[in-house]
Chain A
Amino acid sequence: DTEVTQTPKHLVMGMTNKKSLKCEQHMGHRAMYWYKQKAKKPPELMFVYSYEKLSINESVPSRFSPECPNSSLLNLHLHALQPEDSALYLCASSHPGLSGELFFGEGSRLTVL
């Protein structure tokens, strides 16, 4: 199984809503990532979890809250988002250290109204 599965594929939410994006992988990878991608731009790193511990937080606003319940799951909790947060949110996983392959999920397309 070489897949990273993200749900939901599409999400529309208001600025007062609370929602979550979910990511799952069963490749035994111990590093998982959240990226944000705007149209026609490369992905921007948001968070990195290594061995289920947050190792990198790229100065992301607190309205985005990551969670890594176990080695296979990664969540991104969303609260009080702004319209400019609308983007494609990509989850990825790899063996720690990035010497090997980085596998991306299909992404969750988020629209904030």
Chain B
Amino acid sequence: KNQVEQSPQSLIILEGKNCTLQCNYTVSPFSNLRWYKQDTGRGPVSLTIMTFSENTKSNGRYTATLDADTKQSSLHITASQLSDSASYICVVSVRAGNMLTFGGGTRLMVKP
């Protein structure tokens, strides 16, 4: 069964600190992995897409890593800001078809 597990479920950090969110998946055959940021009551916004051959991809203060051998990904947020408070969702797609498997998300709260 295709599954995507994220940890932690929730996280509170102080403004300016770094944090790392984890995503483990069992989706097969793997096509790509995406990280989305979702503000409360809003639609998800893509942060990165990573394919099988990519190990690291950055988008500003967000850096995603992918280890296709261990089927793990992480999202590292540097120098957190209050506006980083949101849910971060890991989504994995299978090769062929329109099927995505969503993780349960990590709810991040950045406090001043």
Contacts and interface: CB of A to CB of B under 8 A. Distances in A.
Interface of A: 4, 6, 31, 33, 40-45, 48, 50, 55-56, 88, 90, 92, 96-107, 109
B43 A98 contact: no
Interface residues of B, number: 24
B102 A43 contact: yes
Contacts, number: 58
24 contacts: A6-B43, A40-B107, A41-B105, A42-B89, A42-B102, A42-B105, A43-B102, A44-B102, A96-B98, A97-B97, A98-B31, A98-B93, A98-B98, A98-B99, A99-B31, A101-B49, A102-B46, A102-B91, A102-B100, A103-B46, A104-B44, A105-B43, A106-B43, A107-B41
Given A42-B102, A42-B103, A42-B104, A97 B42 contact: no
A50 B44 contact: no
B76 interface: no
Of listed B34, B102, B104, residue having the most chain A CB within 10 A: B102
A42 B41 CA distance: 12
A99 B50 CA distance: 10
Contacts of B41: 88, 107, 109
Interface of B: 31-32, 34, 36, 41-46, 49, 89, 91, 93, 96-100, 102-105, 107
Contact of B98 (A31, A101, A103, A106): A31
A107 B43 contact: yes
Nearest to B102: A42
A38 B64 CA distance: 27
Nearest to A42: B102
A27 B99 CA distance: 21
The 4 closest A-B pairs by CB, nearest first: A104-B43, A42-B102, A98-B93, A106-B43
A6 B93 CA distance: 24
Contacts of A40: 105, 107
